[in-house]
A and B are shown apart, each in its own frame.
Chain A
Amino acid sequence: MKEDFLKMITEHQNILHKVCHLYTNTSEDREDLFQEILIQLWKSIHRFKEKSKLSTWMYKVALHTAFTHLKRSKKHNNHQDGIKESIDYQHLPDRYDEGDYSKLEKAISQLNQVDKAITLLYLEKHSYQEISNLMGISETNVGVKISRIKTKLKTIMQAQYG
Chain B
Amino acid sequence: MDELQNIWDAHQDKVGKEQHLDEFEIKQQLKVKSNDALRRINSVMRLDVIIMVIVTGLFIMVTFILNLESRYTISMILFEMMIVLGAHYWMKHYLINKYDLDNDNIAEIITKKLKYLKWNKHIYIYGIPVFFFGLYLYFQNVWAQVIPNVTVWNMYIIGVLLTIFVYIFSKRLHNFLYGKELKVLEDIIDQLDQ
Q: What residues of chain A have their CB less than 8 Å away from a CB belonging to chain B?
A: 6-7, 9-10, 13-14, 17-18, 21, 34-36, 38-40, 42-44, 47-49, 51-52, 57, 60-61, 63-64, 67-68, 70-71, 74, 81-82, 100-101, 104, 112-115, 117, 123, 133-137, 145, 150, 153
Q: Which of B36, B110, B180 interacts with A71 by CB under 8 Å? A: B180
* Cβ contact within 8 Å between A61 and B101: yes
Chain B residue at minimal CB-CB distance from A20? B19
Contacts of B27 on A, CB cut-off 8 Å?
Answer: 6
Contacts of A13 on B, CB cut-off 8 Å?
Answer: 19-21, 26
Contacts of A44 on B, CB cut-off 8 Å?
Answer: 101-102
CB-CB under 8 A for A49 and B105, given A36-B37, A67-B188, A150-B1: no
Contacts of A68 on B, CB cut-off 8 Å?
Answer: 181, 184-185
Interface residues on B, range: 35 or more
Could you name 27 residue pairs across A and B whose Cβ atoms are closer than 8 Å?
Answer: A9-B23, A9-B26, A13-B19, A13-B21, A14-B16, A17-B19, A21-B15, A34-B29, A35-B30, A35-B37, A38-B29, A39-B33, A40-B101, A42-B30, A47-B102, A60-B106, A64-B110, A67-B110, A82-B191, A100-B7, A123-B4, A123-B8, A123-B9, A135-B107, A136-B104, A136-B108, A153-B1
Q: What's the nearest-Cβ distance from chain A to residue B18, in Å?
A: 9
* Cβ contact within 8 Å between A114 and B192: yes
